[in-house]
Structure 1
Amino acid sequence: MIHQRMIIWVACLCFGTQTLFSQSVPAPLKRFLDKPMVRGASVALMVKEVNKGTVVYEYESERQLIPASVMKTVTAATALEILGEDFRFETSVSYDGEIRDSILRGNLYLCGSGDPTLNSSELDTPKDSILRLWSAAIRKAGIREVTGALIVDESIFDTEGVSMKWMREDLGSEYGQGSYGLNIFDNRFRLYLESGVAGTTPTIKYCEPDMPSLTFHNYVKAVPAPADSCFITGFPFSDERYLYGAIPARRSHFKLTADIPDPALFAARYVHAFFQREGIRIQGAPSCHRILSRMGQWKETTRKTLITTYSPPLKDLARIFCFVSHNLYADAVFKTLGLRYAPSSKEAISSFGRGAQVVTQYWKQKGIDSSSLWMFDGSGLAITNKVTAEFLCDVYTYMALRSKASEAFVHSLPRAGIDGTLRNMMKGSSLQGKARLKSGSMSRVLCYGGYMDHNGKRYAVVILVNNFTGKSRRMRASIEELLLSLFKKTTPV
Structure 2
Amino acid sequence: MKYIITLCFTLIFTQIIAQDSFNPDEALLCKLSRTESKVFFSEHSKVPAVPASLLKLVTTSTALEVLGPNFRYRTRVGYTGDIINGVLHGNIIIVSGNDPTLGSDLFDSTSVDILFSQIKHSLELKQIQHIKGDIQIQFNSATVDYPAARLWEDMGNYYGGIPNNLNFRDNTIRITLQSTEVGSKVKVVDIAPDIDYYTIQSNAIAAAHQKDSAYVYGISQLQKWWIEGSIPANLEAFTIKSAMPDPSMVFVQDLRLFLKENQIEFSNNTEESTSTDGAFQLLCEVYSPTLSEIIKVTNHKSNNLFADQLFLTLAERYSGVQSWDNGVLAIESFWKDKIDYVSNFNIKDGSGLSPKNHLTSEGIVQLLEWMQNNSSHFDVFKESLAIGGQSGTLEYVFRDSKIKGKILGKSGSMESVVAYAGYYIKNDNNYIPFCIIANNFLSSSKSARKYIDKYLTAQFSK
State TM-score, norm by structure 1. 0.83
Alignment-derived partner of residue 241 in structure 1: 225
From 424, 434, 440, the equivalent of 2:396 is 424
Using a 3 Å threshold, how does the CA distance of structure 1 residues 121 and 41 change in structure 2: closer, same or farther?
Answer: farther
How far does residue 237 in structure 1 lie from its aligned partner after superposition? 3.7
Q: Distance in 2 between matches of 1:87 and 1:27?
A: 33
- Alignment-mate amino acid for residue 240 of structure 2: L
Alignment-derived partner of residue 134 in structure 2: 149
For residues 411-490 of structure 1, the aligned pairs below 5 Å read 411-455=383-427, 457-489=430-462
Deviations 1:420-479 (A, max 9, x none): 111100213311110111111111111111111125521000111211111000001111
How far does residue 250 in structure 1 lie from its aligned partner after superposition? 1.2
For residues 379-398 of structure 1, the aligned pairs below 5 Å read 379-398=351-370
Q: Distance in 2 between matches of 1:106 and 1:48?
A: 72
**Equivalent pair of 1:71/1:378 in contact (CA under 8 Å):** yes
Using a 3 Å threshold, how does the CA distance of structure 1 residues 374 and 44 change in structure 2: closer, same or farther?
Answer: farther
Structure 2 SS opposite 1:468: coil
Q: Does 1:342 align with 2:326?
A: no
Q: Does 1:130 align with 2:107?
A: no
Alignment-derived partner of residue 16 in structure 1: none
Q: Distance in 1 between matches of 2:29 and 2:239?
A: 37
For residues 171-250 of structure 1, the aligned pairs below 5 Å read 171-250=155-234
**Equivalent pair of 1:41/1:465 in contact (CA under 8 Å):** no
- Alignment-mate amino acid for residue 76 of structure 1: T
Query: Kindly, what percent of the aligned residue pairs are identical?
Result: 28
Using a 3 Å threshold, how does the CA distance of structure 1 residues 60 and 136 change in structure 2: closer, same or farther?
Answer: same
Q: Distance in 2 between matches of 1:157 and 1:60?
A: 42
Q: Does 1:68 align with 2:52?
A: yes
Q: Distance in 2 between matches of 1:274 and 1:121?
A: 18
Using a 3 Å threshold, how does the CA distance of structure 1 residues 299 and 483 change in structure 2: closer, same or farther?
Answer: farther
From 355, 373, 380, the equivalent of 1:401 is 373
Structure 2 SS opposite 1:109: strand
**Equivalent pair of 2:312/2:324 in contact (CA under 8 Å):** yes
**Equivalent pair of 1:162/1:176 in contact (CA under 8 Å):** no
Q: Does 1:316 align with 2:300?
A: no
Deviations 1:301-325 (A, max 9, x none): 7312110011111111101010111
User: How many residue pairs align between the two structures?
Assistant: 447
- Alignment-mate amino acid for residue 143 of structure 1: I
RMSD after superposition: 3.2
Using a 3 Å threshold, how does the CA distance of structure 1 residues 414 and 26 change in structure 2: closer, same or farther?
Answer: closer
**Equivalent pair of 1:152/1:265 in contact (CA under 8 Å):** no
Using a 3 Å threshold, how does the CA distance of structure 1 residues 187 and 241 change in structure 2: closer, same or farther?
Answer: same
Deviations 1:133-160 (A, max 9, x none): 111101211222222220112x234332
Q: Distance in 2 between matches of 1:56 and 1:426?
A: 20
Q: Distance in 1 between matches of 2:309 and 2:248?
A: 14
* Structure 2 unaligned regions, length at least 5: none
- Alignment-mate amino acid for residue 460 of structure 1: P
Q: Of the two, which has the highest radius of gyration?
A: 1
Q: Distance in 2 between matches of 1:324 and 1:96?
A: 40
How far does residue 285 in structure 1 lie from its aligned partner after superposition? 8.6
Deviations 1:48-82 (A, max 9, x none): 99xx9945321222222211100001111001101
**Equivalent pair of 1:44/1:388 in contact (CA under 8 Å):** no
From 349, 360, 367, the equivalent of 2:332 is 360
Q: Distance in 1 between matches of 2:56 and 2:198?
A: 31
For residues 20-35 of structure 1, the aligned pairs below 5 Å read none
Using a 3 Å threshold, how does the CA distance of structure 1 residues 240 and 407 change in structure 2: closer, same or farther?
Answer: same
Deviations 1:347-369 (A, max 9, x none): xx752222221111011243543
**Equivalent pair of 1:422/1:437 in contact (CA under 8 Å):** yes
**Equivalent pair of 1:99/1:143 in contact (CA under 8 Å):** yes
Deviations 1:337-386 (A, max 9, x none): 1111227xxxxx75222222111101124354344322211111111111
Structure 2 SS opposite 1:107: strand
Using a 3 Å threshold, how does the CA distance of structure 1 residues 57 and 399 change in structure 2: closer, same or farther?
Answer: same
**Equivalent pair of 2:104/2:169 in contact (CA under 8 Å):** yes
**Equivalent pair of 1:374/1:386 in contact (CA under 8 Å):** yes
Q: Distance in 1 between matches of 2:31 and 2:189?
A: 48
Alignment-derived partner of residue 267 in structure 1: 251
Q: Distance in 2 between matches of 1:116 and 1:459?
A: 32
**Equivalent pair of 2:158/2:244 in contact (CA under 8 Å):** no
Alignment-derived partner of residue 140 in structure 1: 125
How far does residue 298 in structure 1 lie from its aligned partner after superposition? 9.7
Structure 2 SS opposite 1:339: helix
Q: Distance in 2 between matches of 1:28 and 1:268?
A: 47
How far does residue 392 in structure 1 lie from its aligned partner after superposition? 1.1
Alignment-derived partner of residue 373 in structure 1: 345
Using a 3 Å threshold, how does the CA distance of structure 1 residues 301 and 436 change in structure 2: closer, same or farther?
Answer: farther
For residues 247-326 of structure 1, the aligned pairs below 5 Å read 247-284=231-268, 302-326=279-303
Alignment-derived partner of residue 73 in structure 2: 89
Q: Distance in 2 between matches of 1:356 and 1:47?
A: 34
Structure 1 SS opposite 2:319: coil
**Equivalent pair of 1:47/1:461 in contact (CA under 8 Å):** no
Using a 3 Å threshold, how does the CA distance of structure 1 residues 367 and 174 change in structure 2: closer, same or farther?
Answer: closer
How far does residue 29 in structure 1 lie from its aligned partner after superposition? 8.7
Using a 3 Å threshold, how does the CA distance of structure 1 residues 471 and 418 change in structure 2: closer, same or farther?
Answer: same
Q: Distance in 2 between matches of 1:342 and 1:83?
A: 14
State TM-score, norm by structure 2. 0.88
Alignment-derived partner of residue 82 in structure 2: 98
**Equivalent pair of 2:344/2:362 in contact (CA under 8 Å):** no
Alignment-derived partner of residue 4 in structure 1: none
